Amino acid sequence: MMRRILFSVPALLAVYAFSAAGSAHAIDPPEAEGVFYADGEAIALTHAHAHLHDNAEGVLDRTPELRILLADREVSREVMEGLIFLPVEEMARQGEVRGLLIQMTPEKPNEINITYLEAPGEPGMSLMNQSFSTSGKDLWEEFMFHPQRVSGSFSEGDIENASGFTFTFSAPVFNEHEVTADLKGKDAKKSPHAAMLQTQFEIMKKGDLDGLRALQTKASKAKMAERMEAMGLTEEKLLQMLQQMIPMQEELLGQIDRVVERGNRATVIYKVEDGQQWTNLVREEGVWKSDN
């Protein structure tokens, strides 16, 4: 089978400069065809989305990171936004979507990671993922990357015996929302994002679980409830754990080093001895809330 990989350096540089609003307009809609076998069950891959994250926060392992979603149903392209623990992954854990999530650097198509979007057997379990890489030959049967569109074909496993996956897709590339604020040092510490975290800390010291939940996003509260159930964790035990975390949280507040805001999403980055830690925030109904 003939394999080809096409991308150009000028094209790669150009796509990084596109804003989210202008990255995919007046172009053809996405197309996808394929199948993913989960425990022998055939899942038709009928929808595709592509998303490029510039990693301005410096948190991701790839700069930039291209995300390609092959799904069994139509979903909003916004489910691909964010840094780590993407909305589409939580949807898969809840059984709201099935398929494949590919993550890679556009100019390194022979190094990819695929997350299998299939609800785990037990609540609280992580999604399965697998890394693929090769040298001396092409990993993809076909791969093309241009400023506004990406397409490709990929096969893995024994399809005739209902194992693995195969797909062909073409999709417009949308970018992560542009950075609307990048605060550093003292400005980061005085930001409304830091103020929200300070308020959260004061509530945590009081042992007020309802107050803490009020400062969590809807998605974050749902994930917390699921994990508590999976771990058999009572509210009393959770309070004990939170009390043990108070010294660490207080130290982290003093280590706020940077805030990167993208519209209604923000990342608070802490400067710690072993590198970086961060907190994700989302503005819901005009209020910044924790989305961890």
pLDDT at 136 (0 to 100): 87
Name the pairing type of β-strands 256-262 and 181-184.
antiparallel
Angle of the 235-253 helix axis to the 192-206 helix axis, nearest 10: 140
175-208 tens-digit pLDDT? 999 999 999 999 999 999 999 999 999 999 999 9
Instruction: Say which residues have a Cβ less than 8 Å from residue 215's Cβ, sequence separation at least 6.
Output: 196, 199, 200, 203, 289, 290
Q: Which of 61-65, 119-123, 233-237 tops mean pLDDT? A: 61-65
Dihedral-angle region of residue 280 (phi above 0 means left; psi in -120 to 50 means alpha; beta otherwise)? beta
pLDDT at 113 over 90: yes
Contact 78, 84 (CB under 8 A): no
Q: How far is CA 128 from CA 200, 217, 250, in A?
A: 33, 25, 34
259-271 tens-digit pLDDT? 999 999 999 999 9
pLDDT at 26 (0 to 100): 53
Q: Mean pLDDT, the chain, as a whole number?
A: 89
41-94 tens-digit pLDDT? 999 999 999 999 999 999 999 999 999 999 999 999 999 999 988 999 999 998
Place of tokens 């992954």: 89
pLDDT at 14 over 80: no
Domain boundaries, the chain: 4-175, 181-290
Place of tokens 């309070």: 239
